[in-house]
Amino acid sequence: MYPNAFEYSAAASFKEAVARLAELGSEAKVLAGGCSLIPLMKLRLAEPAHLVDIGRVPDAAYMREVDGELRIGALTREADVERSPLIATRSPILADASSVIADPLVRNMGTVGGNLAHGDPANDHPAVMLALRATIVALGPEGERTIPADDFFIGLFETALEPGEILTEIRIPAPPTGSGGAYVKFERQVGDFAIAAAAVAVRLEDGQVADASIALTNAGPTVIRASAAESALAGRAPDDGSLRDAAAAARDEAQPWPDVRGNAEMKKRLAGVAVERALRLAIRRAAEGRA
Ligand code: FAD
């Protein structure tokens, strides 16, 4: 199908886009890579009267360290995350996720900001940002503000972005010594959304798990933090027993819906397996000093 008729304008800056959105009101939508919005418009599930294209805003696609903090511009394309030498050494969990988002064509266009702003619990970056305890930077009519990732995803396709606000940057704290992260996804076929997936970040100290941060993709109406799984692991040696306990706790916390990708029980079990496998990879990376 074709989208309904709509007006289009391209913004030369985020500030200009915010002003445009304020002028146009609720009938306008932000267009970034278009990899979610355009398919929804073609299915007539979204019928914005006006698109404000931010795709060509200059200096909005970057990955850089500022005082140890990793800053990712909203328009950074998935393919660039996937191939970035900085990400490979500083935060490989981000490349784990980008590399399993859709297919190369979509990864060349889809943006990290759009992946988060879309608010789809099946998207791969939300769990990663929870695991990394990231902060989202938003610019709106009232100026700039920051939102912890834990407070950003508030409902199915619903985020804490206010009407007229634009996600401009993602900030990821410097990983303390002994940190490691990983993202493991189960999908029916390459390019599909997750049947189940887990993002984990751990910090090892004196052979124990000093801190664990675990989040699940496609395990409920929003991305969820597996707090019981984190507690099952914290303060223990990263051995088979503690990893299996964390996986079992995550399995119980997952609340997936049955759909074409599987029934709820199967998805819960896979969520547990994803947590265990991601933890093993994260602990190995932490031991190798690869964040
Ligand atoms: P757009 O489609 O342009 O926008 C998405 C939504 O976010 C819109 O509501 C838009 O208004 C809003 N928005 C975008 N950017 C901003 C911003 N900076 N500030 C405020 N609002 C904003 N995703 C996965 O995670 N994993 C997958 O496996 C996966 N498979 C896919 C397979 C296919 C074939 C396709 C077409 C998509 C798939 N996706 C998948 C979804 C898609 O890749 C992501 O949701 C995409 O990253 C969205 O980014 P975008 O830049 O294209 O956003």
Q: Which two tokens stand for residue 278?
A: 């991601």
**Topology of 179-288 in CATH?**
Enolase-like; domain 1 (3.30.390)
- Tell me: the pLDDT tens digits for 173-201? 999 999 999 999 999 999 999 999 999 99
CATH entry, 63-173, from 3.40.50.300, 1.20.1250.20, 2.30.38.10, 3.30.465.10: 3.30.465.10
The answer to whether 14 and 166 are in contact (CB under 8 A) is: yes
Query: What's the 286 CA to ligand 1 centre distance in angstroms?
Result: 31
Name the DSSP letter for residue 264.
Answer: H
C-beta of 140 in contact with ligand 1 (< 6 A): no
Domain with CATH 3.30.43.10 in the chain: 7-52
Q: Is 81 helix (H, G, I), strand (E, B) or coil?
A: helix
* Segment 138-158 mean pLDDT: 97
* Exposure class string for 185-221: b at 16+ Cβ within 10 A, else e: bbbeeeebbbbbbbbbbbbbeeebbebbbbbbbbbee
Atom number in ligand 1 closest to CA 74: 18
CA-closest residue to ligand 1 atom 10: 30
Q: Is 256 helix (H, G, I), strand (E, B) or coil?
A: coil
Query: What's the 54 CA to ligand 1 centre distance in angstroms?
Result: 13
Q: Which two tokens stand for residue 228?
A: 């019981």
Closest CA to 150 of 204, 65, 224, 76: 224
Count of helix runs (H) and strand runs (E) in the chain: 12, 14
Which amino acid type is present at position 92? P
Average pLDDT, whole number, for the chain? 97
**CATH number listed for the domain at residues 7-52:** 3.30.43.10
Closest CA to 215 of 228, 205, 200: 200
Pairwise CA distance, residues 80 & 95, whole Å: 9
Domain with CATH 3.30.465.10 in the chain: 63-173
- Which contacts qualify for 231-237: CB closer than 8 Å, 24 or more apart? 233/202, 233/209, 233/279, 234/209, 234/210, 235/208, 235/209, 235/210, 236/208, 236/209, 237/207, 237/208, 237/209
pLDDT score at 6: 96
CA-closest residue to ligand 1 atom 29: 102
Domain with CATH 3.30.390.50 in the chain: 179-288
Q: Which two tokens stand for residue 146?
A: 């920051």
Tokens 């930077």 sit on residue? 137
CA 62, 108, 131, 165 torsion-angle sign = positive
Give 65's strand partners.
70
Pairwise CA distance, residues 30 & 272, whole Å: 36
C-beta of 29 in contact with ligand 1 (< 6 A): yes
Q: Is 244 helix (H, G, I), strand (E, B) or coil?
A: helix
Query: Which of 9, 36, 145 most suits a substitution to test ligand 1, by most atoms within 8 Å of the C-beta?
Result: 36
Query: Which of 42, 118, 189 most suits a substitution to test ligand 1, by most atoms within 8 Å of the C-beta?
Result: 118
Give 181's strand partners.
201
C-beta of 126 in contact with ligand 1 (< 6 A): no
pLDDT score at 5: 94
- Tell me: the pLDDT tens digits for 24-41? 999 999 999 999 999 999
pLDDT score at 37: 98
Query: What's the 238 CA to ligand 1 centre distance in angstroms?
Result: 35
* Segment 216-222 mean pLDDT: 96
CA distances, 172 to each of 26, 248, 257 (Å) = 31, 28, 30
C-beta of 35 in contact with ligand 1 (< 6 A): yes
Question: pLDDT class for 76, splitting at 50, 70, 90?
Answer: very high
Percentage with pLDDT > 90 across the chain:
98
C-beta of 30 in contact with ligand 1 (< 6 A): yes
